[in-house]
Amino acid sequence: MFILRWWRFFQGFVVVSLQGRGVERLLNLAVARGIGFWDLQKQKNEARLCLSLASFKALRPLVRQTHCRLHIERKVGLPFIKFRLRRRWGLVVGLVIFIAALYLATSFVWYIRVSGTERLEKEEVLALVEQLGVRPGIWKKKLNLSELAEELPRRHSAIAWAGLRLRGILLEIEIVEHLSGPVVDDRPADLIASKDGLIERMVVIEGKAAVKVGDTVSKGDLLIEGVVSLEEGILEPEEQPPVKEVRARGKVEARVWYEAKEPLKLKQTTKTVTGRSSSSCYLRRQGKEWRLWGPGENPYEAAREESQVFKWGWRNLSFPVEVHLVTYREIKISQTKIPYGRALPLAQKKALQKLRVQIPGKTDLEQLYFEEYTENGVEWVRAVAETREEISTVKLRRP
Instruction: Among 177, 192, 226, give the residue marking a domain's end.
Output: 177
For residues 52 and 25, state if they share a domain: yes
Could you tell me if residue 362 is inside a domain? yes
Residues 354, 344: Cα–Cα separation, whole Å? 16
Residues 90, 88: Cα–Cα separation, whole Å? 5
Check which CATH number belongs to the domain holding 79 and give it: 3.30.70.260
Instruction: Among 151, 177, 203, give the residue marking a domain's end.
Output: 177
pLDDT for residue 12: 85
At 299, the amino acid letter reads P
Residue among 80, 75, 76, 25 nearest 47 (CA): 25
Residues 222, 192: Cα–Cα separation, whole Å? 4
Do 279 and 325 form a contact (C-beta atoms < 8 A)? Answer: yes
Could you tell me if residue 206 is inside a domain? no
pLDDT for residue 213: 92
For residues 327 and 342, state if they share a domain: no
Q: Per-residue pLDDT tens for 276-331?
A: 888 899 888 877 888 888 888 888 888 888 888 888 777 677 777 888 888 998 88
Element containing residue 83 per DSSP (H, E): helix 78-86
Provide the residue range defining the domain that includes 353: 260-266+338-393
Do 38 and 20 form a contact (C-beta atoms < 8 A)? Answer: no
For residues 316 and 342, state if they share a domain: no
Could you tell me if residue 79 is inside a domain? yes
Instruction: Among 177, 192, 216, give the residue marking a domain's end.
Output: 177
Do 242 and 232 form a contact (C-beta atoms < 8 A)? Answer: yes
Looking at residue 242, what DSSP letter applies?
P
Could you tell me if residue 16 is inside a domain? yes
For residues 331 and 381, state if they share a domain: no
For residues 113 and 65, state if they share a domain: no
Could you tell me if residue 278 is inside a domain? yes
The residue ranges of the chain whose pLDDT is under 50 are 183, 233-235
For residues 288 and 342, state if they share a domain: no
Could you tell me if residue 44 is inside a domain? yes
Structurally, how many domains does the chain consist of? 4
